[in-house]
Amino acid sequence: MGNFVFRDIMAGLPGVSAGTAVWGDYDNDGDPDLFVSGLDVCYNFIGQIFRNNTNPEIERDEPASIFIESPILDYSKGPYYYFLFSSCFCDPENTGTKRYHMFISKVHREEKDFDLNYRFNEILTSRFPNWEPADRAHRTSNAFPTAKEAEDARLGVIESYKAEGYQMHYFNW
């Protein structure tokens, strides 16, 4: 709003991991625009410019360079290895009692986008028919450049959920 006064708004910006956000005046209208890149919740690579349309009165002596800090990433080198997991306070076995459950896969190398997510969801919904319809938006997967890093992280996730008293379900396809 000017003079370092801010107003909270729902900006609709995507959440990203392994990414970056850089301010710059992309459209040269005097206000800072935002470039966001990284991985979204479904592990799609995104790079998007969000133009600021508030149009404050800002005078500049000369045009500024923008986005010089924005790296171009080489995604051909990975990450390739994933384990998938989901958790709930639910009754997936239809026992009549809700409790905390954790569902986790082994480490796999993904050859085609979302194949592992779809397989995980298939197993989840076939083993637990009263589970709500599953889609990748309800699952979390972690990506790593090596199988060893992925397995180490997977074991850490398992330990943390066990420590919290979750009932563990292993999807070992």
Full pLDDT tens readout for the chain, 173 residues = 677 777 776 666 777 778 888 888 887 877 788 888 887 766 667 788 887 776 555 555 554 444 433 344 455 566 588 898 888 888 888 888 989 999 999 999 988 777 888 888 889 888 988 776 555 435 566 677 889 988 998 999 899 999 999 999 999 98
Query: Is 86 found in the same domain as 44?
Result: no
Judgement on whether residues 91 and 159 belong to the same structural domain of the protein: yes
pLDDT score for 34: 85
Full residue range of the structural domain in which residue 160 is found = 81-171
Among 35, 37, 114, 99, which residue's Cα sits nearest to residue 67? 35
Instruction: Establish if 45 belongs to a structural domain.
Output: yes
Domains contained in the chain, number:
2
Q: Residue 120 falls within a domain, yes or no? A: yes
Strands (DSSP E) contained in 17-119 are 17-24, 33-39, 45-50, 81-90, 99-105, 108-109
The span from the CA of 44 to the CA of 64, in Å, is 31
Boundary residue ending a domain (57, 73, 89): 73
- The answer to whether 39 and 143 are in contact (CB under 8 A) is yes
Assigned domain for 1 exists: no
Triad 21, 156, 114: Cα angle to 5°: 55
Residue 43 lies in a domain: yes
Q: What is the pLDDT of residue 7?
A: 72
